[in-house]
Amino acid sequence: MKQLIAKILISGIALKFTSGIIEGMYVDGWDSVFIAAIILGIVNAVIRPLLLILTLPLNVFTLGLFTFVINGLLLKTVATVVAGFDIVGVWPAIIGAIILSVVSTVLNWLISE
């Protein structure tokens, strides 16, 4: 349970940091951040693997770069569901997904050591 709470906190902090960097990605408050982090975790656990399997030929053709598009579209989908979290456009979603994954990885690495 502590690991789950830690992962949600890390995802929330990474999401807040990313929204501060990316023009076109807006989060109103910490409550929206943590709700978005929880929903994003669920979406990444359930829907993302299915999309990766369905788009495998395209992903192989683009040498894995289409994964960034999938991650961006999933982030944009979460933004449409969560009140107080908005992404204007597809490019901020794709770039935001890349930065979000890098920041989350770094924070997880710092906390695990």
Q: What is the pLDDT confidence band of residue 113, given thresholds at 50, 70 and 90?
A: low
In single-letter form, the type of residue at position 113 comes to: E
Chain segment 39-95, per-residue pLDDT in tens: 999 999 999 999 999 999 999 999 999 999 999 999 999 999 999 999 999 999 999
pLDDT range class, residue 3, cuts 50, 70, 90:
confident
26: helix, strand or coil: strand
Residue 41: count other Cβ atoms within 10 Å of its Cβ: 15
Could you give the CA distance from residue 107 to residue 52 in angstroms, rounded to a whole number?
Answer: 25
